[in-house]
Amino acid sequence: MTKHFYIDESGNTGDLCKVGAHPSFGGQRLFSLACVGIDDIEALAHEVERLKSKHKLQGTELKSTKTKAKPRFVSDLARYLHAREWPVFIELVDKHYLMMASIVERLVTLHLSGTEPSRGALFVKNTMADYIALHAPDDLGPLYAKACETQNRPDCRRVFQRLIWWSHRSQRDRDIAAGIERSTRTSLKLFEKLHPYEAVRSVLPIPDRSKRDGMIWLLPNISSFTTIYGRINRHLEGDIEDVTFVHDEQVHFDEIIAANKALAESLRDDLSRVRLRTANYSFQSTAKLTFQNSKESLGIQTADVIAGFASRYIYQKLWQPETIDAEDDEAFHLIDRFTRAGGVTGINYVAPKELLYALGLSPLANYEDG
């Protein structure tokens, strides 16, 4: 059983709810977090040195930026991981979608807060988030970011009003748009009845505290790490007591990641009410979490290469397809094979389904029958 899992990210992981937030996110719309299980670091080191020589890769540290123009290196690395049967988990997040999903969860469906989670409710929320992410006006994200910054009732109310105005007029799919409008109007009525402090607190993301005691509203690496934790718990059938996560050093967010790991463990009964095919949040035992400088860990460097290639490839495939060639396609195919190998490993996309269809993927519902 694999006991050591190395984690690194690709894509700026700052707070998404900043004033000026926009669907493009400064050209870094996608975020990825990769986790690679490795049993034999010495064997990996020997193979990496061989591949670096084969592909004329310079430098002592293995970095995603250095392999950007060498997809064949990524292909060979993926082949080696497959040959060793080492598991790979990737969370690939469309930041714009994650922000819109937060708006749906905290604002559009405010009137459903406190109700028991169900497959039906999750399906409706996901459908709304998909529609809003693809079709809502570009100023919705900045309006929500401003509400997070000011934390005042009028700015929160403007997000409601913008959603209602747009959804009332949206013609892409009238059934979905009408559902968003009805739900948002119902939630706005509840919002207006609440005490101002409680009203604002209820519609904004639950914030984390930075080391300087500032508020951080929405970090993609937090939700991504929690999901990978649940996926590995499912992959190892709950036997994670001897597992160690080695995460890339996070100067600003390490305490937040550790705190959210502990929170997920403490809420195991609540988080496990909806059973998922690819994750198990009912933690009967807990894994160890450590942080290490990537320069000192080949495992983290390997995760960095996988995460960096995955986010670059998907971004280019969707928005810059002319930059993709056959070697890039082959490297991605080999990484995507982890997804098809067992159903738990591989790539989990946090993105609108239409974007996945554009990639030729057919996402399945992540809920168990029964």
Inter-CA distances, 301 with 7, 67, 294, 314, Å? 9, 11, 6, 20
For 308-330, what is the mean pLDDT?
94
CATH code where residue 326 lies: 3.30.420
Tokens of 244: 């160690």
| % of the chain surpassing 90 pLDDT | 67
Cα distance between residue 236 and residue 243, in whole Å: 10
Give residue 84's Cα distance to chain centre: 26
Structural domain contains residue 43 = yes
Same domain for 198 and 163: yes
Judgement on whether residues 158 and 173 belong to the same structural domain of the protein: yes
pTM beyond 0.85 = yes
120-152: pLDDT as tens digits: 888 899 999 999 999 999 999 999 999 999 999
* Residue 367 reports pLDDT greater than 80: no
Q: Are residues 270 and 327 located together in one domain of the fold? A: yes
* Residue 370 maps to a domain: no
- 166 and 85 in a common domain: no
pLDDT tens string 190-218: 999 999 999 999 999 987 766 565 677 78
Q: Please give the pLDDT value at position 47.
A: 98
Average pLDDT rounded to a whole number, residues 22-43? 88
Same domain? 194 vs 239: no
338 and 284 together in one domain:
yes
> Rounded to whole angstroms, how far apart are CA atoms 77 and 79?
5
Does 29 fall in a domain? no
Kindly tell me if the per-residue pLDDT of 111 is higher than 90: yes
Q: Is residue 85 domain-shared with residue 223, that is, in the same domain? A: yes
Which domain covers residue 64, as residue numbers? Answer: 4-16+34-93+219-358
pLDDT for the residue 23: 66
| 89 and 100 co-located in one domain | no
